[in-house]
Structure 1
């Protein structure tokens, strides 16, 4: 609890974690009430410090005001600050004085700023704030600034404040306790310890403020390191200086260019200043330093290599770019997850008096709680510092790594570095990828960076082959893997990649030696080209719309690429229009070759497809397009072409030759006096719906356009067909100029007819005979069996038809030709009907109810008619879903019990069932047989025997469901005697059925077998063994299915 703390100036040293609720009529000790106040005050302070932050929130900026060149006041703007003890500080003025002398006066905070015109020496003897005490116990030198309204007669004007250049401002909350009134006698109403809170503006000296900062673990920050926010600049390598310093007639070699880069690195001390700043920031962030000496040694060894020396310069440039990202985020990285509570518990520093420095290291900033920004900026600074170290560690390029081939990787022209593709001279590891782009790592997509080495990247196509996808955001192309290659190999590989992916940049080759008789427009003399294009600069690639320049050197008979540069414009191969055309834009796959028209004459024609079988053939010095030489996977695609690597507008599409099957499915021949013959065509084949069809049914050269339906069928009716002069049906199948021709002959067969005497037949009916034309024709069923041939005739036997075909139309053919003959087999019902139970008349009733159970496969699908009275009149009644049906007879004559008849119909198929009158079997009337009578000794009639026996049963009405129980138990007992004989027996049954009783002479009766639905009655009897007195009880038992 706060009031128990030894450090009364700091409330959060010990916090209250619980309090008591007060009860009605309770006497409250002051400790209990203070505990209540302490708990909520502690929670309020903790909420500010842990969930919002500490330091200066806004305002509280001092300005010195001069009049006549003399300091007249110090104006401090209104603002807000939070101490590490959770105090909320804001400027205030005296408000209206309270009428009660024991209640504190109120303050107002409604002010824009406050002017301090006077000062006095400040003594902290009341609060004894530890931050102001020196090691020997004395107080540091402090001055209190006072407004004109609060100034006393002994206070001095602020113009007399000594050594103004050595003054630093503090906003201090003076906190101490003061006894208001001693408690005497019983009157303690106004007794209490007043908590004094005075807000002071203090000035301290440099030595004093440094003493205060010794305990401040929050304020130190990398932002206050000298010149830390000044970006590091790298010296440019200007190629034209070679010509200016040594003359344009000098013959240059690779070492001249290498010296330019080596000198630039040496002039920067190999980044010594950069490493010094990085290591200073790393120390504040708790990260290890990066060894600059090892880095320098690495670059010096690297510069010895014949090629690749430009990448040493690139590495230092990358490191400089990383530092630029760091200092951009650094000013925002003030998030603290758990502020040190001792740093400034009752004060905040406002900065040096009269200073206009924007980043004043003697002014507290606001240190956010992580809940406000999730420590994103602080974490980003740490990730960038780790990237810096990884860049130095993973720089692995050497001449031994050559041979991986040239790659073009889309990238960004401008910083930040993390948005660019990873340069190929870094060893790509999962750890390296996680620090390359902070935002991608934050979204768990670090493997979606672009790089030369794709082995560690996502397998997604747009990451593995980024040049195949939209590059609108990537306006720069990293070109890597060419240095050290021979001139021709590098040029051919790079040109092929550029042309294949249709990328917008030009390529030039520069030779150190003069080119004699050179006719290649992509080659130039180094000296001349540099003089004409002074903007050449190494960028490890080229921007879109620029020219990538490779410099090569003769090394004996070899020519090696030793450096590369770029300029931001196309230069200087002459612009020659490339023209290409074909006589058709669509061609059939089976067509012959067609010639190209090429401009310029002699231009090289290539198809812009990734296939060796691309259709372009060179025959006799001329280019042709042969559709037979095109891979089938490219059919249906628009194929583009280039001339001399330049794209053209020439396009062609190869359409596969139709391969469709057309035949006569069946023919409907003329019947009666009709002369109409209807032919049904069947079209099949892959994608047959995509073609157009022209038909010549009359064989007269006149075609009509008709399309088959979705199943490929098409009907056409011809009239008065003469079988002796049968027309050949001709079909043209067309698609985009490709035509397939089909001719169908001998499609007309002899007319066939078939009929049956019925359209529906019961499954148990006798066979019916077919009428067949022509005589001797072979009859077959379209599906299933049923057709039989006996004694030279075809008949249909429904018994031979599988039940799965019942209810379906069965079709037939004669001599393989379809006919209009149809028949449907109806299933004969096979149903069982039985009397389940009978409710006989009871208690004077004249009603007899019969309960039937209908069962059998598909019994719900049939119709039922009942003759209950044996009078020939049938009544339609359907059983329920479980097959139950009931009928009630009134005044049934037991001497004339009717026979019950049922007709079960499925269409014309009828099953008849007869239930004999034996269904009526009422129970016999109960009878009692007395085997013996025993009397007690003595004369039973001389006196009256008092009957004190009382029988009891557990329940007098019991209900049983066979679905949940297959037994029941009846319990009985008696009182009024010492010993009893017990017995149970059945007295009634609604069905006439007697339930078997295994043992009846017992208190409890259990019946567990042969249970049947019905209403039953049992009687329980208890007999006094000594007197013979007895009592009985009845139990009704209802059993349901």
Structure 2
């Protein structure tokens, strides 16, 4: 059998009136249109099973039936496969396709002698064993029950095509009839070992199976989650280690590298063969090594390296999805399955053709471009990553791509890179941290904004950055709240935050309507965290409780006349020397309450002269209260013309101001509960006037709980802070110490032979005495000897006075002495379980000689299934 598309006719003739036509001319015309029809199916639709053509077994009263359901398929030779059956015996060549299924009750041996479908049905020019489904009325039909194990065979539909022999024309020749071209659908079954021969010749199916196998190996990956708490976020090195450990322990970057290797090896045909793609694995490994494996500084901003890893993972997962969707098979060859379609097995296994669609049915070029763009993005992410300090604070809107193609935005830890911008997302333009002057995205309204990216703040002054973010929140109407914690000052407050809000996470910004947490060390910004919701200040709760309040009045550092002149200057003549100021510049040099600093550096407040002109001193006091909502309450008494500071009666405070509106060398004024000083000297003897006020607020006691309730204290009220944790760490370390592993006796004994001789000798004496008493019993070892916290005479004598203070046993013995006040060896703790209560008195007599050497407890059998103490503890049966 020759395939129709093995050779294609690309020309035909136009006929003239009354022209005598030859068979060549007619056949040429037919061949042209038939070839075009077949090519249209293969090139513009695809090949394989488009839908249906499913198979099943149906049990009936007369026996099993093989059922094929209606469907559509296209062979690689362009044949359209649709189920049909003969219209009637009177019209044998007419068929109908409006059927739902074909069913068969019998089978017979199939002979391919007419079509000679080679090489598919032949091995060494011999036809392989094939059986055809048929029905009872067909020649040589046998019931399906007689075909052994037919349900486990492989099934296919075969379009048998051949020219009918000329000798059937009869006495006259066939010149006036032509040669009939026969096409019959045959439903065949093959044994498992034979079907593999068809698969081996099927380039499309083999490729499809290979792709499916590769895709099965390409599973999405995720980073290990990082959870902040009061123990792991107390220093820069801890935070670095927290994120680096998440990357290292999860093996995510290694898994990503392996996945990229599979993609390059298995999908090279759809990847651009540029230098970067060819060398993708080398580029990836080199940058991963530099960025994640070889940090060069004491603090390496691993929080943001983790964000890079998250972007790499997300891009890789997008790449997997894009590859899975890319199921096009352009330009299929004719040879894979020119006249047959594989239907699989009844149980759903076996080989079955899918639909291998043409690029014309989808976005072939777009999908291919998307895959290559993701590869380029991966490389650009690695090449563009760079942590810079003191860049200058910027906030940009961010969102999800499904809501707006312009999102997500490019964060600050990627330098401006044209390749990254081109391959970042779907939109031609994206919002980047490095936007040009005059293009501030906060001035525009974008659909789909669900968060904000914040950058350029690393290495800047903490208090200045905090104030700048708050100003931008107010200026641009941003929907999030800001907190600032300095590790050198606010450790307890930060611990409480983590305790109350354990969902703190690193996003490189803050969700819309969330909480942004700025972190600094010695007033230098080094990191940030966020919460997906806005923290509600408990101090704002309404209620009633008693608080004793002191309201004290002081002179202000600037006279009212001076303030009036400043506020009017914006409408008067321009200043002759220097720059004409527009704002009253108040610098808060220091601020503490009960020696607890509220700021870690100088804070500058800029109050516009227009506000002072309208509201005089109240514009200044309001600015102070808004900037320090958890501090002293500032007000101005118009009748006394004095500043009023309100505080809890017994609290002590210290706040220092400078008026730097006209000069940065202005003197500093310090206010305390005792009075007022100017440049560390008493300003005025009568500068302070106080009165006692009484208020009732529930929030006072909420505040007391927040500030004074112990956090993570142990049972010794903080006297041994951290020592209990170290105690359990040392116990764990001893378990794996070389002196208790290998050929040495283990730290947790499994038998009496594992105990130090000083203890095993004593227990052996007890055992001999118990055996001599002939009292039925069980003997157990419990306590420190079975949980690993014991100290033997041998340990104490060898290590107690060791000069190696870093030795684990030395540290364990010293901490044991400090925590437990124990310097002697651990006594054996023995539990004797009696079979009968009546034996208790005799057992007490038997064990009384050993009470100085061991701790002995006696238990009796359980009563009414009540649990015994021995059933609830760790123990070793001796």
Whether the TM-score (by the shorter chain) exceeds 0.5 is: yes
Residue in 2 that maps onto 1:194: 180
> What residue is the counterpart of 1:312 in the other structure?
305
In the alignment, does 2:22 pair up with 1:29?
A: yes
Residue-by-residue CA offset, 1:697-754 (whole Å, 9 max, x unaligned): xxxxxxxxxxxxxxxxxxxxxxxxxxxxxxxxxxxxxxxxxxxxxxxxxxxxxxxxxx
Inter-CA distance 604–402: structure 2 relative to 1 (3 Å threshold): closer
Q: CA deviation at 1:566?
A: 0.8
Give the Å deviation of 1:377.
Answer: 5.8
Q: 1:266 aligns with which of 245, 248, 259?
A: 248
Which protein shows a greater Rg?
1
Match of 1:466 among 441, 446, 470: 441
Please give the per-residue CA displacement for 1:209-249, whole angstroms capped at 9, x wherever unaligned.
Answer: 44333343434243443535743232211223x64xx8xxx
Preserved CA contact (<8 Å) 1:62 1:354 = no
Structure 1 residue 172, shift from structure 2 partner: 2.2
Distance, in Å, in 2 between the alignment partners of 1:208 and 1:419 is 54
SS at match of 2:180: strand
Q: Does 1:91 align with 2:83?
A: yes
Q: Aligned ranges for residues 359-508 of structure 1 at < 5 Å?
A: 362-375=351-364, 378-379=367-368, 381-398=370-387, 401-412=388-399, 419-438=407-426, 440=427, 446=428, 448-454=429-435, 464-508=439-483
**Counterpart of 1:549 in 2: which secondary structure?**
strand
With normalisation by structure 1, the TM-score equals 0.48
Pair 1:109-2:97 in alignment = yes
What is the match of residue 569 of structure 1?
A: 533
CA contact under 8 A between 1:604 and 1:643: conserved in structure 2?
Answer: no
Q: Distance in 2 between matches of 1:259 and 1:382?
A: 34
CA contact (8 A) 2:136 2:143 kept: no
2:520 aligns to what?
552
How far apart, CA to CA, are the structure 2 residues paired with 1:274 and 1:142?
47
Q: How does 1:270-309 map to 2 (within 5 A)?
A: 270-282=252-264, 283-286=266-269, 287=271, 288=277, 290-291=280-281, 293-301=285-293, 303=295, 305=297, 306-309=299-302
2:737 matched to which residue of 1?
A: none
Q: How many angstroms does 1:114 deviate by?
A: 2.2
Query: In the alignment, is the contact (CA less than 8 A) between 1:433 and 1:449 conserved in 2?
Result: yes
Report deviation, 1:340.
2.5
Distance 1:551 1:528, change over 3 A: same
- Aligned-partner SS, 1:421: coil
Q: 1:159, 1:225 → 2: CA distance?
A: 41
SS of equivalent residue, structure 2 residue 495: helix
CA separation of 1:515/1:421 partners in 2, compared to 1, >3 Å: closer, same or farther? closer
Aligned counterpart in structure 2 of residue 145 of structure 1, from 115, 133, 144: 133
- CA distance, structure 2, for counterparts of residue 367 and residue 273 of structure 1: 30
1:531 equivalent in structure 2 = 499
Cα separation, 1, equivalents of 2:612 and 2:216 = 68
The TM-score, its normalising length taken from structure 2, stands at 0.57
CA shift, 1:134, in A, is 6.3
**Counterparts of 2:176 and 2:614, CA distance in 1:** 118
> Alpha carbons of 1:389 and 1:591: their partners in 2 closer, same or farther (altered >3 Å)?
closer
Residue in 2 that maps onto 1:900: none
Q: Distance in 2 between matches of 1:543 and 1:265?
A: 24
For residue 252 of structure 2, give the secondary structure of its aligned residue in structure 1: coil
- Whichever structure has more strand as a proportion of its residues is 1
Q: C-alpha separation between the residues in 1 aligned to 2:497 and 2:512?
A: 21
Q: Helix, strand or coil for the counterpart of 1:193?
A: coil
SS in 1 for 2:343: strand
Whole-angstrom CA distance in 1 between matches of 2:21 and 2:530? 86
Write the distance in 1 (CA, Å) between the matches of 2:374 and 2:311.
13
CA distance, structure 1, for counterparts of residue 160 and residue 395 of structure 2: 68
Instruction: Tell me: CA distance 1:159–1:265, structure 2 relative to 1, closer, same or farther (3 Å).
Output: farther
Asked if the contact 1:58–1:80 (Cα under 8 Å) also holds between the matched residues in 2, the reply is yes
Structure 2 distance, partners of 1:64, 1:569, is 58
Pairwise CA distance, 1:380: 5.2
Moved more, 466-475 or 118-127: 118-127
Measured in 2, the distance between the counterparts of 1:19 and 1:77 equals 39
1:543 is aligned, of 486, 511, 522, to 511
The residue number in structure 2 matching 1:212 is 198
Query: How far apart, CA to CA, are the structure 1 residues paired with 2:458 and 2:128?
Result: 67
Maintained 8 Å contact 2:395/2:455: yes
CA distance in 1, matches of 2:244, 2:504: 18
State which of 622, 633, 640 in structure 1 corresponds to 2:617.
Answer: 622
Distance between the aligned counterparts of 1:512 and 1:642, measured in 2?
Answer: 24
Cα 1:187–1:138 change in 2 (3 A) is: closer
Distance 1:262 1:180 in 2: 82
> Alpha-carbon deviations, 1:556-587, whole Å to 9, x = none?
xxx4333321111222557889xxxxxxxxx9
Contact map agreement 1:134 1:140 (CA 8 A) in 2:
yes
When residues 533 and 131 of structure 1 are mapped into structure 2, their CA distance, relative to the original with a 3 A threshold, is: farther
Cα distance in 1 for residues equivalent to 2:254 and 2:148? 45
Equivalent residue of 1:363, what SS?
coil
